[in-house]
Amino acid sequence: MFKKFANSPVIIALVLTLVLLLWLGSGDNYAAKDDVPAEQQQPQPTLALVEARWSEATPYQLMQVAQGQILPWRNVSIKAQQAGKVTELLTRQGDSVQQGASLLRLSDEGRTELLAQAEANLTLKKQELASARSLDRSQFLSKTELTRLESELARAEAEYARARLALQQTEPVAPFAGIIDRRHVEVGDVVQVGTPLLDLVQIDKLKVTAQIPQQHIARLQQGQQVNLRLLDGRQLTGQLSFISYAADTATRSFYIEVTVANPELLRIAGGSATVEVTLQPLPVHLVSPALLSLNTDGQLGVAVVNPQQQVEFYPVTIVSADNQGARVSGLPARALIITQGAGFVKAGDKVQVAEAKL
């Protein structure tokens, strides 16, 4: 019966009419969708919120510590300048000598006679030349003969000077006032030219050498006071007397010399000492190590907020670090340092700033 009812023309007509009405009604909806919607207000982007605190730079006195070498002010090895036998020792090890004092004697080896011969020959050549010049005024001597006699006189003068020097060198003298630190020969020893005879040192004044890293050399000044600590705990004071103008190519450090007075003639030359150089004060900021970060170039630095409320990254150098924090240089004298949120912003970003809680 239901099947017969479903095939009725009346029912079919009603269904089609209902479908048509529904389709006509949906046309309004599609037409509405074709209309341009009204322009909507775009939401304003919100600025990142960071916490920051003001930091003032304070002077920091940095001490540069280096290991130094203590050297005599002057140190020379006196060597034989003539061959011969040691005939007399005029000084002993440990003796203080004045400049020009004779130290020992070598055998004469005929040098006195050679000097006398050279002196006589020189006298003869002088007389011959004087006579020749008298003849030259009378025009009885040629210019060539006069030149020959002048040449012979010059040769005689050179021979005399060599003979006199050779005799003098048989008795070596002290080139400066100092102490005989070592003696290498005894009476009877035969020496050749270049044989070490004595070591002479000057230790009433000492020289301490050290190497200073290149980043600190600009804050050194010649003449400034330097403290020295010896291995036994004794302390000395010196004066920075020299700073090299070029760094060592291997270590990139600069050579310095410190002059130290040693009136008591302490036996410390040749040893080592800890050199403490006080550098000029440097303005630094005390920050937590957690605030240090690396930029895209791998530089260590600190993020701050500038007056335009923008983030800036300042490369810094760690001057020192302890339980209080890290002291860094490279920031402005007064800086608004980001303490929270630096990891969520980058240089150039504009931010909102909230005062950091202490």
Q: Which residue, of 149, 169, 189, is where some domain finishes?
A: 169
Lowest mean pLDDT among 22-36, 211-225, 264-278: 22-36
Residue 198 carries which side chain, given as an amino acid letter? Answer: L
**Average pLDDT, integer, range 263-273:** 94
Structure tokens at 1: 């019966």
Interatomic CA distance for residues 90 and 86, integer angstroms: 11
For the chain, the average pLDDT equals: 87
Q: Are residues 140 and 237 in the same domain?
A: no
For the segment 12-34, what is each residue's pLDDT rounded down to a tens digit? 666 666 666 666 566 555 444 55
Q: Are residues 266 and 203 in the same domain?
A: yes
What pLDDT was estimated at residue 5?
Answer: 46
What pLDDT was estimated at residue 320?
Answer: 85
Q: Are residues 122 and 92 in the same domain?
A: no
Kindly state whether residue 41 falls inside one of the protein's structural domains.
no
For the segment 252-263, what is each residue's pLDDT rounded down to a tens digit? 999 999 999 999
What pLDDT was estimated at residue 2?
Answer: 43
For the segment 311-328, what is each residue's pLDDT rounded down to a tens digit? 999 999 888 888 989 999
Q: 131 and 149 in contact (C-beta within 8 Å)? A: no
Instruction: Give, in order, the Cα–Cα distances in Å from 95 to each of 72, 100, 105, 123, 267.
Output: 16, 14, 17, 42, 14
Interatomic CA distance for residues 239 and 242, integer angstroms: 9
Please give the share of the chain, as a percent, with pLDDT higher than 70: 85
Q: Are residues 23 and 129 in the same domain?
A: no
Q: Are residues 77 and 219 in the same domain?
A: yes
State the residue for tokens 């011959």.
128
For the segment 152-202, what is each residue's pLDDT rounded down to a tens digit? 999 999 999 999 999 999 999 999 999 999 999 999 999 999 999 999 999
- Domain encompassing residue 19: 2-34
CA 331 to chain centre: 24
For the segment 106-150, what is each residue's pLDDT rounded down to a tens digit? 999 999 999 999 999 999 999 888 888 776 665 666 778 888 888
Interatomic CA distance for residues 249 and 265, integer angstroms: 36
